[in-house]
Amino acid sequence: MIGLALGLAIAMLRTVLDNRIHTLHDIETLTDRPVLGGIAFDPDAAKRPLIVHADPRSPRAESFRSLRTNLQFLDLDSGPRIFVVSSAGPGEGKSTTTANLAIALAETGARVALIDGDLRLPRVADYLAIEGGVGLTDVLIGRVDVADALQKWGTTDLYVLPSGQIPPNPSELLGSAAMDQVLASLGEYFDYVLIDAPPLLLVTDAAVVGSKTRGVIIAAASGKTKKQELSGALRALETAGVQMLGIVVTMLPTKGPDSYGYGAYTYGATHDLDGDAVTGSRAAKSRKKAPRAKKRSTARS
């Protein structure tokens, strides 16, 4: 009995002292901004980061389509739909979230531009298996035109602008008038422009570029992101006067009391993962004329 009581006491103490985010409810206690989506943990995420492309009928891929649907409802004002995706700290899934969301949006027929705005530790080119030597930094310093730096990816209307060479002054480049011109040009031709930006608590880049867009979407990892870190990221955006549009909770557990279920995706199921089934849906959207882009695309198998 003493051992049982001691075990219960230790379990309760760990629960009380644990200040990490585990469930969607934890997010709701920190902010009134909406939770745009929940992405389940995938132990093979490093091997297949582009799950929407690699396994389009999986429950995890469907969760990105759910995120896509919620993003489409963020029609706050008229104007270009340009969004920044960031996180409080590193390793929370912001880059994979941005890339998969871009692919999911392009599936609907929308013209999508994916920009690697992380000029310190770029990941987008590696995930999409494209050449990233020429990109955003080259455009911002006037070395190449934005239309020449864009690369068409896959069979949909998804265009990628890699980061290019890592510069010594990322924040200054992202806050420059040249960046304004790039966003204005892309916003004119594309239905959606997604920017993968560095973590908010480490550098100011995300807040700088976020002030030029509709707002910032924050990726927070379940079981990793601490509540005070997420609160700090929210304060950083508020201090900079940048709108925080919502939060995407990544790495949610699929089993246990904090598990994230896929019960809403079981109708007409064609794929099963851990006993849960899912089906995907696509919608058609109108097309616009896009700037010329070099077709150097490859698709990760």
CATH code: domain 21-276 is 3.40.50.300
Residue 161's φ and ψ, nearest 5 degrees, are -115, 100
Residue with token string 């990233």:
132
User: What are the beta bridge partners of residue 40?
Assistant: 252
- Give the start-to-end residue ranges of the domains of the chain: 21-276
- Which carries the bigger pLDDT value, residue 261 or residue 87? 87
Q: What is the C-alpha separation between 89 and 201, in angstroms, rounded?
A: 6
Q: What is the C-alpha separation between 300 and 246, in angstroms, rounded?
A: 29
Q: Map residue 184 onto helix, strand or coil.
A: helix
pLDDT at 198 over 50: yes
pLDDT more than 70, % of the chain: 80
Q: What is the C-alpha separation between 80 and 78, in angstroms, rounded?
A: 7
Q: Tens digit of pLDDT for each residue in 11-38?
A: 666 655 568 888 777 888 888 888 999 9
Containing 228, the helix (H) or strand (E) segment is helix 227-240
Q: Tens digit of pLDDT for each residue in 150-172?
A: 999 989 999 999 999 999 999 99
pTM of the predicted protein model:
0.80
What is the DSSP secondary-structure string of 45-71?
A: TTT-S-HHHH-TTSHHHHHHHHHHHHH
Q: Do residues 124 and 196 touch, judged by C-beta distance below 8 A?
A: yes
